[in-house]
Structure formats: structure tokens, C-alpha cells
Amino acid sequence: SQTIHQWPATLVQPVGSPLSLECTVEGTSNPNLYWYRQAAGRGLQLLFYSVGIGQISSEVPQNLSASRPQDRQFILSSKKLLLSDSGFYLCAWGQGYYEQYFGPGTRLTVT
Amino acid sequence: AQSVTQLDSQVPVFEEAPVELRCNYSSSVSVYLFWYVQYPNQGLQLLLKYLSGSTLVKGINGFEAEFNKSQTSFHLRKPSVHISDTAEYFCAVSPRGSNYQLIWGAGTKLIIKP
């Protein structure tokens, strides 16, 4: 069966510090991969998605970036965090036009 | 452009009462439809999905949903709710021929009153 891992689970970072969140998927190959953010009391905002290694599409221009160095690994990064980057970050995988499966999420607080 | 509307931001209901969470969508192409549940500080979990076939779909935790093509709706129902159903529920559609993205509703918070 497929599983998706995200880490860390929680993170507190000062403004201006770098960020690296990692997501890995097991039990499937060539998945579509997604990064979402939920701000407090808000819905889901798609940040990036990838349909293959090295292929990244950005949905929202901002100081975040994503990379996919391996088939089942998706990394979300920032060089300098802003207060507005605080939120709940979710990684998901899917195949084709079908459902997506979500990881447990990372709670990021920028102070 | 496609869109998903969840008509209620919050739905309070007494324990053991029935509930319906409403979802309407707009799309120029056919869609697949999904309902997800999110418990506090957790990721989203797939409740049920409609891909084709019978328009009444049964999911986990006693939930079901009915696809109504003429009304472009996919309402979620449960005949008797429990305290453990307290969560946020998201409706999503996947337009066929799209770029593999789901179009999300804003979510509905289900509040169970004892």
C-alpha cells in the first residue's frame, strides 16, 4: 500500500531564516506531487505541483520554491521566511485525474 | 473556469441527528468528484469519490453522497452524526482533461452539539 511522509511535524522559525520541508511517497511510482498551504481559518491553497522529476509548476508567486530531486521526493524551500509564510503545509500525491492522498502536514510558525 | 461552492461555512447539528453538507460545482467538462475530511491538525482524508456509475456513493464512517448532474451538485449526507464527526469537510472536483489539479471548495465545519 502507499504511504506518504512529511517532516518535520512542527517547526518554529524566525523571520528571515531558511526553510526546508520534505515529503516522500512509498508504494507507487511516477506520482503527481503537490504542496498546499492552509493559513489559519482558510481553505486549501495550491502552491506547487509536479508531474515528474525536475518538472515543477508554481501556482502562487511568492518567496517559496519547490524541487523534485527524485521520483517520490518533493521538497518545499525558502531562502528567507516571512511572517505571512506561517501556516499548515500539506503534501499530497495523486495519479491522473483521480483523487489525491495527503500527508500528515507540517505546522510552520514564523516568529 | 471551474469552481466549487460549499454553501455553508459552518453547520451545527445535534448528536444523532442527520446532516447534509452542500456542494455545487461549475465546469464546462465532465468531472470526478470527491469529499475529504480534515480533523484538527491532521491531513485530509478521502471520505468518498464519484468517478462513474451509480450516482449514490457510499464512503467511510457512514457518509454517503449523491451526484446530481442536472443540478451540478454533490451533497454529503449522514443519517446520524456522532461527536467524533466534528471536523472540516472539503468538496473537490477534478475536471477531465485538466492539468491534474483538484478544484477545492472553501470547506464546511461540522459542529456536533451534545
State how far Cα A10 lies from the chain centre.
14
Q: What residues in B contact A6, CB-CB < 8 Å? A: 43
Inter-chain touch A97–B104, beta carbons under 8 Å: no
DSSP state of A27: S
pLDDT tens per residue, range B14-37: 999 999 999 999 998 899 999 999
- Residue from B101, B103, B104, B108 whose CB has the most chain A CBs within 10 Å, to mutate: B101
* Predicted confidence (pLDDT) at residue A101 exceeds the cutoff of 80: yes
Q: B49 by DSSP, 3-state: which?
A: strand
In the structure, what pLDDT confidence band is assigned to residue A42 with cuts at 50, 70 and 90? Answer: confident
Q: How far apart are CA A67 and CA A72, in angstroms?
A: 11
Helix, strand, coil in percent for chain B, rounding step 5: 5, 55, 40
Question: Is the pLDDT confidence value at B98 over 80?
Answer: no
Instruction: Report the amino acid identity of residue A12.
Output: V
Are the Cβ atoms of A98 and B32 closer than 8 angstroms?
A: yes
Cα gap B26→A17, rounded to integer Å:
41
The answer to whether the CB atoms of B34 and A44 lie below 8 A apart is: no
